[in-house]
Chain A
Amino acid sequence: MNIHEFQARELFAEFGVATQPGSVSHTPEEAEAVAAGLGGKLVVKAQIHAGGRGKGTFKSGFKGGVHLCDTPAEAKELASNMLGQVLVTHQTGPEGKEVGKIFVGEAVDIARELYFAILIDRASSSPVVIASTEGGVDIETVAHNTPEKILRLTVNPALGLMPYQTRLIAASLGLTGPLMTQASKLFLNLYRLFIERDCSMVEVNPLVVTKDGKLLALDAKFNFDDNALYRQSGVIAMRDVTEEDPREVEASKFGLNYIGLDGNIACLVNGAGLAMATMDIIQHAGGSPANFLDVGGGATREQVTAAFRIILGDKLVKGIFVNIFGGIMDCDIIAHGIVEAAKETGLSIPLVVRLEGNNVEAGKKTLAESGLKLESGENILDAAHKIVAAVKAAA
């Protein structure tokens, strides 16, 4: 799960992580009022999850989702140009994203830009801190071109981040004197936030030193552990479903695990590993997968019907590949579910079903006698070839 920039700042404030003063606004009037409570130069930023906001363009023709200004009146004017308008950036796709909220804050006079992140390292089963003097740019590029500029430090999860470790990091970033004290506090508070809010990643980029000697977390990216959301009601409250793929939101209501892709052969599979392998084999057979879809171990009729509806809601989809290994589930029950779902949704595009496992002969008979226009695959590869051929023939 991801959150907005202003929500990241609210988390920073809650955990005592120094950041620039400012607040979220939903109307131009609110933006003006927020600006009036701040001092100096101001910054106005459109709040969407996608990156590249500064270089984006609104469909109205207004340029840029991030602007500097000097007065509350100017902030109001900028807000009215952004709110309710659709911003297109290199990450939103051509359809863009409607801006419903903006952040108004004090502009910061930056002396140095640094990088600081905490994430879970699988190999050591521990949190690791990554820090670099090269902030404000893509860290993967830094790691690739100048790996010596990346500091990596493992945290013992039983002890947590230790104060001496924060001083080591500060020193490596050239933060000395009063800045070292500020850095130590900021890093410890950020680590506490990481653990207490069940984050899987917190990336502060840039972490800045201002010209008047303050260390501030200027922009941040958060990822939260979906498995821990049951105990993070505050995090769930920050979820913005308008930022998510509506098909994925709909699928999650039925306990389906769906991820939209850009191909034209949809797949419906039980099990995450088999679902990935099914996407792969569609490509192997010369086709292009439209989605990842894991209906789980049970695959009830309701779930299969919901899955068909979601798949058929995708206008790019020209064929469906159902791949089920019925281990404990009876294949005949699954076959009945597929037949009913296909009839209920008025399926008119090619359907290839590959069933294997418990009571498979009865399941195949049910499919054959259903009166539906569908093909059965002998094995996964055979079924993949059949659906790819059927979609090509129909085109």
Chain B
Amino acid sequence: MSILVTPDTKVLIQGITGSFGARHAKLSLDYGTKVVAGVTPGKGGQLFEGKVPIFDTVEEAVRETGATVSAIFVPPPFAADAIMEGVDAGLDLVVAITEGIPVIDMMKVKHAMLGSKTNASGRKTRLIGPNCPGLVTPGTGKDSHGGCRIGIAPGYIHKKGTIGVVSRSGTLTYEAVWQLTTRGYGQSTCVGIGGDPINGTSHTDVLKMFNEDPETEAIIMIGEIGGTAEEEAAAWAAEHCKKPIAAFIAGATAPEGRRMGHAGAIVSGGQGTAAGKIAALRAAGIAIAETPSDMADALIARMKSR
């Protein structure tokens, strides 16, 4: 098994006719992902790439195609609405790729989701992101073809296997995955949780899922400055995680009080420093990659030492 999505997961794409959404919808189709529907209000009845039906609403797309997961590519002003539309339609998972959603919008979405109802499968919708690359469960074909690719990650860098990857950063995820793949280590699922200060799924949430997943044998966790999510994950892992973990934290040289590209990557009032996070991770018995070149090797060394 993988976590969150499998190669059989039926995916719909909100914002499938925008240039960004269309490009990545096409790449997911090429990867072999079951993209079963698109949603663009006002374009219901049309076909994407001559085969994927487009609907006006998520509710209709779910009803007609049985999609359980959505990827959101709509622009920031409409993203909170798109997320809540997915939640209201009873999806299992909503993955918000959109970068630049106002934090007050996300605050309202997060609170609304706490009070949302469960869907037909008895589940509440989980949100991943926003401002994230999405997630990939690699397939068994050439260059991991046949997997489930939701979002914007390059599919071919993956390889089916047993390492779980969770990260706040897109390109650092690709670095870690590529290092693993070129060393012969495949991945169970790779999850980008996003670089915003308020997000749907935390490092800890994903660690819990990897810990429970029989297919995942070891985990790479990538964090960065700002907030306390990595410290919380370290505290949880120290108590509960049975599997080897290696971590990398970016931003040791970032000046205090500046947002480093990601809205959530900021050290303020001495809180959220790389040094503090690394100390917490070390104290939890997690292997630390000293540099981004060293992420896979740090994990492999830890796996061999057990």
Contact = CB atoms under 8 A, between A and B. Distances in A.
A174 interface: no
A127 B106 CA distance: 12
Interface string B145-169: 0000000111011000000000111
Interface string A15-31: 00000000000000000
A363 to B, nearest CB: 15
A217 to B, nearest CB: 21
Nearest to B24: A328
Given A227-B263, A272-B265, A327-B157, A292 B254 contact: yes
Q: Which of under 10, 10 to 19, 20 to 34, or 35 or more describes the interface residues of B?
A: 35 or more
Interface of A: 120, 122-123, 125-127, 140, 143, 156-158, 195, 198, 200, 225-228, 230-231, 257, 259, 261, 269-284, 289, 292, 294, 297, 325, 327-328, 356-358, 379-382, 384
Contacts of B167: 273
A281 B175 CA distance: 14
28 contacts: A120-B198, A122-B264, A123-B227, A126-B107, A143-B269, A157-B108, A158-B108, A158-B112, A227-B103, A228-B104, A231-B77, A259-B260, A273-B167, A273-B168, A273-B169, A275-B261, A276-B251, A276-B253, A276-B260, A277-B251, A280-B250, A280-B291, A284-B291, A289-B253, A327-B154, A328-B152, A358-B154, A384-B291
B252 interface: yes
Contacts of B258: 259, 292
Contacts of A276: 224-225, 250-251, 253-254, 260-261, 265
A63 B254 CA distance: 34
Contacts of B101: 227
A273 B252 contact: no
Nearest to B264: A122
Interface of B: 27, 76-77, 100-108, 110-112, 152-154, 156-157, 167-172, 174-175, 178, 195, 197-198, 222, 224-228, 248, 250-255, 258-265, 269-270, 274, 290-294
A230 B260 contact: no
Contact of B171 (A198, A274, A281, A358): A274
A104 B259 CA distance: 33
Given A122-B197, A126-B107, A281-B293, 7 more contacts: A140-B270, A271-B261, A275-B261, A276-B265, A292-B258, A381-B293, A384-B291
Contact of B228 (A120, A122, A228, A325): A122
A379 B261 contact: no
B175 to A, nearest CB: 6
A280 B293 contact: no
Question: 9 closest A-B pairs (Cβ-Cβ)?
Answer: A273-B169, A272-B261, A271-B171, A327-B154, A228-B102, A274-B171, A381-B293, A276-B250, A273-B172
B170 A297 contact: yes
